[in-house]
Structures are given as C-alpha cells and as structure tokens.
Structure 1
Amino acid sequence: MEYVFDVFFEESFLVMERSGLQSRCSRRNVIDHLNSVISGCIQGRETASVQLAVGLAVKSAIDYHRKMKSDNFKICMMGKFHNVLYIAVRVAWDWSLEDSEIIKSLLEEIYMCEKTFERIFLGALFGSNAPHFIAGWKSDFIDQDENLRALVFFLHHAGKTRLSFPSYSYAYHDIRQTKFIDIPIESCGKAAPLRVAVQASAPDILMILLRHGANPDPDDGGASPILSILEKLSDYESRAYPYQLVSCLGLLLRCTIMIELPYKPHLFHVRKEMFEIKYAALLADQIIPRDQVFGVPTLKRICRCHVRNQLRKNCQLPRGVNKLPVPRKIMKYIDLLD
C-alpha cells in the first residue's frame, strides 16, 4: 500500500507545472484524486485499515517533500513541492487521522520551511476568503466553521504530542521552545494567534484557544491583551461597549488572577490613581472588576488560574481537566465553561 502512494506523488507531480498547486481548485483536484486512491486501498477492509491507509498517504506526502528538499541541498523548492504538505493537511482532516505522531511530523515539516502556521490559523480567524495579503485565501477548507474545526483537530494532536518549536522570546531575548498554539503569525505582525483573535474581537475563537492552552499573555512583544482591550473600550465615550470586545475581556479575566497596573516604574499609589482616572467609566460600569485590580483575589480564582497554568505547561488542556479528581462542576469551572 505504501508503494501505491509513493507512485501517486511521483507520477502526479512529474507532469505538473511548478505553480500547479497555487490555486485552491487545483489542490482540491489532487486531494479528491488522493482520497479516491485511499478509498480504493481500503475498500472492503476493516476500520483499522482506513487509519493505516490514511497514515501511509500522509507519510508519503511528507517523504516526497523531504526527498525534493534533499535533492535541492536541503532547501525547500516551494511551489508544488511545498504545497504537497497542505494536500496532506487536508487529507489528514478529511479522514480524521488518529496517529498523532504522523500529524506531529507533518506540522514539523511545515514549520521547518515556513516558521509559522498562518495557513492553518488564519482561515479559522478570518475565514477562507480573507484578503490575500494575510494569506487566508490559501486555506483549503470550505468556510470559517470548517477551518475552525480543522484547527481544533490539529490543536488536539499537537497537545497530545507536546509539540513545540524554536521561536524568538521577547521575555528572554533568545530562541525558546514555543507551543504550537502560541507560534506567531507572520502575516499579522508576528503576533500570537490569541492576540490576533483579541484584535479581531472574536470571543468564540478566543475561547477555543484559551481552552486548548494558549498563553493568555503571549510572549510576542506586544502589550498585555487585557490592557489592549481596556484601551479600545476607553475610546467609547458613549459607553455603548461592543459585546464582542467585552466578551473577550471577560474570557481573559477568567484566566487572570489580577490585572497588573501599567505605568511602571511609578509607585503603586500613583499607578492606582492614574488607572482610576483613565478607566473611570469602565470601573463605574463594572466592565473592570475592582477586586481584580485593587482588591484581594478570591481563593477560587487563584486555584483555577494555578491549576490551568500547570495543565497548560504540561500540554494537558483541555484533555487533562476531565482527569482531575474533582466534582464535575469544578471541572467546568477550571475549563472556563462556568
């Protein structure tokens, strides 16, 4: 069966122009053809054979990319030779591939060439018809909903394999290992996916990212996402605050023990006064909970944040929540669902 897929990629790409996979339609044709080959290989066989066939198809795509790269002095030739990886991305999703190690190899292969995962994230953030300058047009999924479900699929496998990549850390001013979910998006000013979701005022996507272990205060060189939202909200002099933006703030506050006051290095009482003056309307309208700025955090909130931080560090969000020896209601609270 492995030979069948190797021949498929060799023969299909031999007669194809270098730009033959540039359009979504051309990639869709190859994907449909490959899916037909997979169906033919598994016809009349058991379910286990389905996963075997799909896994071999994805591995053959990875091997073909590696071979072409090796023949070019270990430099990716891009064009159709790189887009073969996105053929594999779509096929893995189409058949719900369960082998996390193969998915890990696929994502590692993509990162070695691109140093980002914008073609996986941007379709979920902006939809498949996003302007071409932010690369959303490259998405091989039908619409934003399918993009989002595909993103969850890859987040699940990345979490299972504790997948991380070397990326520049602004906190340490050095290259550090960064989880798949926090890898900056090149087309969005190298901002982390969570920051892009906040900037897009997309609470539903923000919720998915937080539940799957995104860092609520990403190390991408930007300001605190909470303070960024407060800055936007303070511009609404009519005090008619957008629901989406307020929802994003609420989600981030669930993952935060206290809002750290800006205006350093002033003394605390000076910073407190400056904060109260600038955000007086937000405090009066209870958009900002006073106890999360000036008060004493509740033990309940402290526990949730610390438990989530430990689970996030160990790549156990959200899977590990259900393994905690606590009542179901507390599980929902830790998982941001209550």
Structure 2
Amino acid sequence: MELLLGYYLDQFKDAPRCSLYDRRKRKQMVEYISTMIQGCAANDDNVQETCKEAVSTLVRYHKKAKTANGTVCMMGKYHNILYVAMKLCYLWQLKDHETVALVLHEIYSCERTFERIFIGAIFGTKAPHYIAGTRVVLNLTCIFPKFDFLLGWKSDFDDQEENIRGLVYFLDKANYARLELPFDVGGEIKLFRFIDLPIESCGKTSATKLSVQLGLPDRLLILLRFGALTVNDKDVVTVYDHILNRLMEFNHCYPYNLVACLQLLLRVIPMVKICLPEAANMITKDSVIERYGDLVDDGLLPLSRCGFRPPELKHLSRCTIRRKLWENFQLPTGIRMLPLPVTLHRYLDILED
C-alpha cells in the first residue's frame, strides 16, 4: 500500500498548488485512495491496517513537504491532503485512535484551529464557504496574494448530518487518544481538549458556547455528552449567564430551543453559576430573584439549582461521576462500562433527567 501510494503522490507533485482547493478534487482523491485500500486489503480483517497505512503515508507526505520548507506549512495542496486523510479516517471508520489523533495534531499544528470540522456541524456544509479558515487565510492574503485561493473553503462532508456524525467520530477518537493541544489565551499558553478548543473565525468562541448562542440543543447535547463544560471555569459562567439573560428577554414566552438548551446545561453542573457585579462567580438568593425571578417563577430555573434548596443527591452523584470519567477521558463511552442499570446509564449520559 505504501509503495503504490508513494507512486501516486510522486505524480501529485506536478499538480497545481490549488489542485485540492475544490472539494470535488479532494473527493476524487479520497475515492481513488479508497479504491487502493480496498484492492490492497487481502480481506475485511486487513482493511483497518491498510487504511492506517494509507493515512500514515499521507501524514508523512505532509510532514516531508513541511520540513522541506523550513518547517513552515506551505498550505495549498500539501496541507489540504491532510483533509483527504481525515475523510479516509471517517469513511473507513479507522479504529486506531493514535493515527486519527496524528492527523488532527498535524492539522492543528498548521491552522491552530479545527473550525473546518466544527463549523460544518454547527452551521451546515454551506457555511464554511464563508466562515471556516478565515483566520488562517485572511492574514496570509493580506501579505501574500497567492494564498487567496484558500478563501471559500467547503466542507468535506456531503451534508450537515454527515458532518455531525464526523464530529462525533473525531470527538470519540480524540478522547481515546487523550488529545490535548496548546492555545494562546491572552499571552498564556493553555492546554485544551479537542472539544474545548476556541474557534478562531467565531471570535475565539468554543463550539459549546456557540451552540448555546445559536440555540442548537441537538448539537449542545452531543458536546455536553463528550464532556464540554465539565470543568467549572470562567467559560462555564459566561455560558450560563448568556442563556439566562437571553431567556429573560422573552417576557414569559420562551422559545423551545433556548429552554431545551438550559435544561441540558442544568444537567451537567451541581448549581448554576452566574456573573454578578458585586461578586463575580458567586450567587445569592436575593441576587437570583432580582435578576432571574421570572425564570424561577416559571419553573425554568429550579430552586435546587440556584441556592434555595440543596441539589438532589442523585444529581450531585451524576456530576461527580461524570467529572471522574472526564478526568480519565472516558465520557461518554465509560458510562456503559459502569455496573449500573440501563436507566442510570441514560441518566449519567444526560439523555434523560
């Protein structure tokens, strides 16, 4: 497999720099290499190993081109070939999480974002044409006009449903690989998990916060199940503060999608955290009534989640178990391994309350 793919990539060197800019060209390459994988695999049991070899060869090809350019990615076809590798991982459902993580790490080392994966799942496959890749591209095109062909990136997935399935696949493999990547936050380098990495072209907002802002409970459920907002940090506070303030704008006539988002968010923390002028990140009964009395009266903000009553022991147990599973990169797959009834599995997996 490596030898045949090597011959193919030797011919690829003569292709134009923008040869993989068009999604159709990347799709053609994916189909061609998929045919090679199927032909080289002696049987079904050998497909996974053959796919792994093909993906690894593509990653090495990118690294070689990058090294030849002084460790600076030339973008263009040499970078876009990583998205061919990414799509092959998804199409063949490659189980080797280390190889999948290697592809993700190589993409991130050049782009410092995974927006081309996340944005298609959140906005749909047409949105990346206008949004994804803008941080990488706009800065380059201002200095080097030759990079203008990178504008208008289109998702490698056929539709939004496939994009969501692809996101779930990569979230799962990133968890198995315990993938953590550095990101500059105000001059300080911090490690982020794949699911929590900010999206540059959306104001460095996480996919979770973006789903809440847009009122997308189905996407939010996926992200929360995989451990988003498990850590009580500033990002968690701003997410809850945003959804509560948004709901207060509707004067007792609340949109279903925002209510659904709040209900999901209340399943993953012991008690709601909100921003207050007098004491940031702290909450008192009087302050809750003053700011969100309508939500308390209408039952959207339960008394057990805002300080009036202690949270239920069952809910506190869920938060604690999920936190321990998150620390070990076991959300949500580790839930099914716990010796508990199926109904409790669903409760821990925030599929029901």
TM more than 0.5 = yes
Which residue of the partner structure matches residue 213 of structure 2? 199
Contact kept? 1:192, 1:218, Cα under 8 Å: no
Counterpart Cα distance in 1 of 2:260 and 2:270: 17
Which residue of the partner structure matches residue 33 of structure 1? 32
Displacement of 1:15 in angstroms is 2.4
Which residue of the partner structure matches residue 21 of structure 1? 20
Displacement of 1:266 in angstroms is 4.7
Displacement of 1:327 in angstroms is 2.4
Which residue of the partner structure matches residue 286 of structure 2? 273
2:255 corresponds to 1:251: no
Counterpart Cα distance in 2 of 1:61 and 1:337: 38
Which residue of the partner structure matches residue 147 of structure 2? none
Counterpart Cα distance in 2 of 1:201 and 1:270: 25
Which residue of the partner structure matches residue 73 of structure 2? 76
Contact kept? 2:181, 2:194, Cα under 8 Å: yes
Displacement of 1:131 in angstroms is 5.5
Q: Deviations over 1:274-319 (max 9, x none)?
A: 4312322211111111221122111111111011011111100011
Contact kept? 1:216, 1:225, Cα under 8 Å: no
Displacement of 1:328 in angstroms is 2.2
Which residue of the partner structure matches residue 121 of structure 1? 118
Displacement of 1:273 in angstroms is 2.6
Displacement of 1:269 in angstroms is 11
Which residue of the partner structure matches residue 58 of structure 2? 61
Over 3 Å counting, the alpha-carbon distance change for 1:235 and 1:91 in structure 2 is same
2:97 corresponds to 1:100: yes
Displacement of 1:187 in angstroms is 1.1
Over 3 Å counting, the alpha-carbon distance change for 1:54 and 1:152 in structure 2 is same
Q: Deviations over 1:89-111 (max 9, x none)?
A: 11111111111111011111011
Contact kept? 1:191, 1:222, Cα under 8 Å: no
**2:32 aligned partner, one-letter code:** H
**2:172 aligned partner, one-letter code:** H
Over 3 Å counting, the alpha-carbon distance change for 1:268 and 1:95 in structure 2 is closer
Question: What CA RMSD, in Å, does the superposition of the two structures yield over aligned residues?
Answer: 2.2
Q: Deviations over 1:108-153 (max 9, x none)?
A: 1011111111111111111111153322852100111000001111
Over 3 Å counting, the alpha-carbon distance change for 1:117 and 1:60 in structure 2 is same
Displacement of 1:248 in angstroms is 0.6
Contact kept? 2:230, 2:323, Cα under 8 Å: no
Q: Which runs of 5+ in 2 are unaligned?
A: 134-152
**1:125 aligned partner, one-letter code:** I
Instruction: Tell me the SS of whatever aligns to 2:98.
Output: helix
Q: Which runs of 5+ in 1 are unaligned?
A: none
Displacement of 1:5 in angstroms is 1.3
- Picking from 144, 162, 177, the partner of 2:160 is 144
Contact kept? 1:261, 1:272, Cα under 8 Å: no
Counterpart Cα distance in 1 of 2:233 and 2:163: 25
Instruction: Tell me the SS of whatever aligns to 1:17.
Output: coil
Contact kept? 2:87, 2:156, Cα under 8 Å: yes
Instruction: Tell me the SS of whatever aligns to 2:183.
Output: strand
Counterpart Cα distance in 1 of 2:274 and 2:119: 32
Moved over 6 A (4+): 267-270
Which residue of the partner structure matches residue 290 of structure 1? 303
Instruction: Tell me the SS of whatever aligns to 1:165.
Output: strand
Counterpart Cα distance in 1 of 2:247 and 2:180: 34
Contact kept? 1:59, 1:102, Cα under 8 Å: yes
Contact kept? 1:261, 1:293, Cα under 8 Å: no
Contact kept? 1:169, 1:219, Cα under 8 Å: no
Which residue of the partner structure matches residue 327 of structure 1? 341
Counterpart Cα distance in 1 of 2:116 and 2:274: 36
**2:27 aligned partner, one-letter code:** R
Contact kept? 2:237, 2:273, Cα under 8 Å: no
Which residue of the partner structure matches residue 163 of structure 1? 179
Instruction: Tell me the SS of whatever aligns to 1:134.
Output: coil
**2:13 aligned partner, one-letter code:** L
Instruction: Tell me the SS of whatever aligns to 2:335.
Output: helix
Counterpart Cα distance in 1 of 2:282 and 2:120: 45
Which residue of the partner structure matches residue 351 of structure 2? 337
Contact kept? 2:121, 2:164, Cα under 8 Å: yes
Percent identity over the alignment?
40
Counterpart Cα distance in 1 of 2:169 and 2:121: 12
The two structures have a TM-score, normalised by structure 2, of 0.88
Over 3 Å counting, the alpha-carbon distance change for 1:221 and 1:283 in structure 2 is closer
Counterpart Cα distance in 2 of 1:332 and 1:95: 29
Counterpart Cα distance in 2 of 1:57 and 1:98: 14
